[in-house]
């Protein structure tokens, strides 16, 4: 059996409250600027949670130029399509296709794939029904009679969880391997892992992995608040004062292809995908094992998949969502795996919020920028590391990675844990 191909990352795209490009988002993070601000989508002035990391001041047509398409997709789809298109463009795939003879284009399209991590929709998809439910006063005959004239005719098309998969494929004529993963916060990270796995077994010649979500809406905020998962003002990863997370919205995408093909076409290589690990704690929907069992096993599987030792990891981008139990169990896992040789640790949600299904992909896109700049960003909201894991090397100041390899940890409801390993420089 021939060895699995090494996987290059040749393009990226991202959008969130902090910017329209991975580089711009990292600039904001390094400057200590947070996108968290007042919620503007409804009057939240008397809500227990009044802030989130919204994407403000960007017109829809800047994200997706086809205005007709806006009528049949949702806000989260705009983000995902934009990020996917950006990754495809920056990887140079359209330019490569343009150099092919006409007879070669169909095969190129057939061997180009997409894997998308989606949040699976939100409560907001049901809001079209509320006025009619109110006016019908429980009379379901009246409700059924007036339904067609009261609900937007594009309602069904706008709520499809695979809209980004469909439209990025249509816009770019990517007809090959495709999948839509809806696994809550783990979705985006799983999209990257699935894309790499598909490339390793030769299903495609290039695959773009996308994660997208837009969770800032009333029922989600209220639900997470009642679960005790949201802070009222700021995300404080690993801080003794941490009291919850905050929502963010956005998307990110990575373009992956075999390293050999990337070098052959002289594509700029942003980094290399090394390995992944995915596990479930199987303990409940929101319950977490306090000893960090899930992330521990995910990290160890990723290390084994990459064929590297813990000492070779140069930095860690933690899930770091600022909730007491998640941060504590994640810290326990990191300390268990790395012992007294833990590399510098950081997290980004203090600046961009928790983007749920987009979180893992967005962290991966940002860490490639970190490795390129040889920096581990500090966390300005960190005042005092929780004494329960005081040896965790997390700081409010910027640090330097100890190597060109980074670990990304992503967690989700249902005890889902994903670990990804990427490298800045390709080995000789």
The single residue listed with the structure tokens 């049901």 is: 126
The answer to whether 82 touches 15, Cβ cutoff 8 Å, is yes
Mean pLDDT of the region 126-141: 87
52-101 pLDDT, tens digit per residue, is 999 999 999 999 999 889 988 989 999 999 999 999 999 999 999 999 99
Residue 428 lies in a domain: no
Domain co-membership, 301 together with 244: yes
Domain coverage including residue 131: 125-156
Whether 209 maps to a domain, the answer reads yes
Q: How far apart are CA 69 and CA 322, in angstroms?
A: 37
Q: Is 176 within a domain?
A: yes
Residues 57 and 182: their CA atoms lie apart, in Å, by 29
Distances (CA, A) of 362 to 3, 154, 158, 346: 29, 29, 23, 14
As a whole number of angstroms, the distance between CA 180 and CA 162 comes to: 6
The β-bridge partners of 245 are 230
The pLDDT of 142-163, averaged and rounded, is: 84
pLDDT digits (tens, 9 = 90+) for 248-276: 999 999 999 999 999 999 999 999 999 99
Residue 414 forms part of a structural domain? yes
Q: Is residue 232 part of a domain?
A: yes
Q: What is the pLDDT of residue 304?
A: 98
**CA angle (114 as vertex; 109, 118 as ends), nearest 5:** 155
- Looking at the structure, do residues 136 and 184 belong to the same domain, yes or no? no
* Confidence label for 120 from pLDDT (cuts 50, 70 and 90): confident
Sign of CA dihedral 77, 81, 87, 93: positive
Neighbours of 427 (CB within 10 A): 8
Let me know: does 396 contact 378? Beta carbons within 8 Å.
yes
Backbone angles phi, psi at 31, to 5 degrees: -85, 0
pTM of the prediction? 0.95
Q: Are residues 150 and 165 in the same domain?
A: no
The reply to whether 276 and 304 lie within a common domain is yes
Question: Do 77 and 149 belong together in one domain?
Answer: no
What would the pLDDT profile of 65-76 be if each residue is shown by its tens digit? 998 899 889 899
In angstroms and rounded to an integer, the radius of gyration of the C-alpha atoms of the chain is: 21
Query: What distance in Å separates the CA atoms of residue 381 and residue 234, rounded to the nearest whole number?
Result: 8
Helix (H) or strand (E) holding 87, with range, is helix 75-91
Question: With 80 as the cut, is the pLDDT of residue 177 above it?
Answer: yes
**Same domain, residue pair 140 and 196:** no
Q: Are residues 80 and 142 in the same domain?
A: no
Q: Looking at the structure, do residues 98 and 150 belong to the same domain, yes or no?
A: no
Q: What is the CATH number of the domain that holds 308?
A: 3.40.47.10
The whole-angstrom separation of Cα 341 and Cα 151 is 58
Residue 110 shares a structural domain with residue 41: yes
Residue 153 has pLDDT above 80, yes or no: no
**How many structural domains are present in the chain?**
2
On whether residue 111 sits in a domain, the answer given is yes
Average per-residue pLDDT for the chain: 94
How high is the pLDDT of residue 260? 95
pLDDT digits (tens, 9 = 90+) for 327-348: 999 999 999 999 999 999 999 9
Paired tokens of 281: 């704690």
Q: How many CA atoms lie within 13 A of 52 on its CB side?
A: 32
**Per the domain annotation, does 1 fall within a domain?**
no
Query: pLDDT (tens digit, 9 = 90+) per residue, 218-231?
Result: 999 999 999 999 99
User: φ, ψ for residue 361 (rounded to 5)?
Assistant: -70, -40
HSE, CB side, 13 Å, CA atoms: give it for residue 133.
5
Model pLDDT for residues 7-19, shown as the tens digit of each residue: 999 999 999 999 9
Q: Which of 428, 22, 91 is nearest to 267 (CA)?
A: 91
Which among 296, 315, 340, 235 is positioned nearest to 17, based on CA atoms? 235
The C-alpha angle with vertex 361 and arms to 318 and 400, in degrees rounded to 5, equals 45
Cα–Cα distances in Å, from 289 out to 109, 186, 276, 329? Answer: 44, 17, 21, 7
Of 30-39, 159-168, 201-210, the one with minimum mean pLDDT is 159-168
In a shared domain, residues 31 and 152:
no
């Amino acid at each position: 059996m021939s060895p699995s191909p090494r996987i290059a990352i040749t393009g990226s795209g991202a959008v969130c409250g902090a910017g329209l490009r991975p580089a711009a988002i990292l600039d904001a993070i390094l400057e200590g600027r947070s996108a968290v601000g007042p919620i503007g989508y409804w009057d939240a002035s008397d809500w227990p949670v009044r802030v989130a990391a919204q994407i403000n001041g960007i017109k829809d047509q800047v994200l997706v130029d086809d205005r007709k398409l806006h009528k049949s997709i949702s806000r989260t789809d705009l983000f995902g399509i934009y990020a996917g298109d950006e990754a495809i463009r920056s990887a140079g795939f359209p330019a490569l296709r343009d150099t092919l003879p006409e007879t070669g284009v169909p095969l190129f399209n057939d061997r180009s794939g997409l894997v998308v991590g989606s949040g699976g929709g939100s409560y907001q998809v049901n809001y079209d029904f509320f006025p009619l439910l109110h006016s019908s006063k429980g009379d379901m005959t009246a409700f059924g009679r007036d339904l067609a004239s009261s609900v937007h005719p594009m309602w069904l098309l706008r709520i499809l969880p695979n809209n980004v998969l469909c439209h990025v494929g249509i816009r770019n004529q990517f007809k090959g391997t495709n999948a839509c993963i809806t696994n809550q916060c783990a979705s985006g990270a799983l999209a990257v892992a699935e894309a790499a796995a598909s490339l390793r077994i030769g299903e495609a010649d290039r695959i773009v992995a996308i994660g997208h979500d837009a969770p800032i809406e009333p029922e989600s905020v209220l639900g997470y608040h009642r679960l005790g998962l949201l802070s009222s003002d700021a995300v404080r990863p690993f801080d003794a004062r941490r009291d919850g997370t905050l929502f963010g919205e956005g998307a990110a995408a990575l373009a992956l292809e075999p390293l050999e093909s990337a070098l052959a076409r002289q594509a700029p290589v942003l980094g290399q995908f090394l390995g992944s690990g995915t596990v479930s704690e199987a303990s409940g929907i929101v319950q977490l094992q306090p000893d960090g069992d899930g992330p521990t096993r995910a990290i160890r599987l990723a290390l084994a998949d990459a064929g590297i030792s813990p000492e070779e990891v140069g930095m860690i981008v933690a899930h770091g969502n600022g909730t007491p139990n998640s941060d504590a169990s994640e810290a326990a896992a990191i300390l268990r795996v790395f012992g007294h040789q833990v590399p510098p640790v950081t997290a980004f949600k203090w600046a961009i919020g928790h983007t749920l299904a987009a979180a893992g992909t967005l962290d991966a896109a940002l860490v490639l920028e970190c490795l390129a700049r040889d920096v581990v960003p500090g966390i300005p909201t960190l005042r005092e590391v929780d004494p329960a894991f005081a040896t965790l090397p997390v700081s409010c100041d910027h640090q330097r990675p100890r190597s060109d390899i980074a670990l990304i940890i992503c967690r989700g409801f249902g005890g889902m844990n994903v670990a990804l390993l990427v490298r800045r420089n390709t080995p000789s």
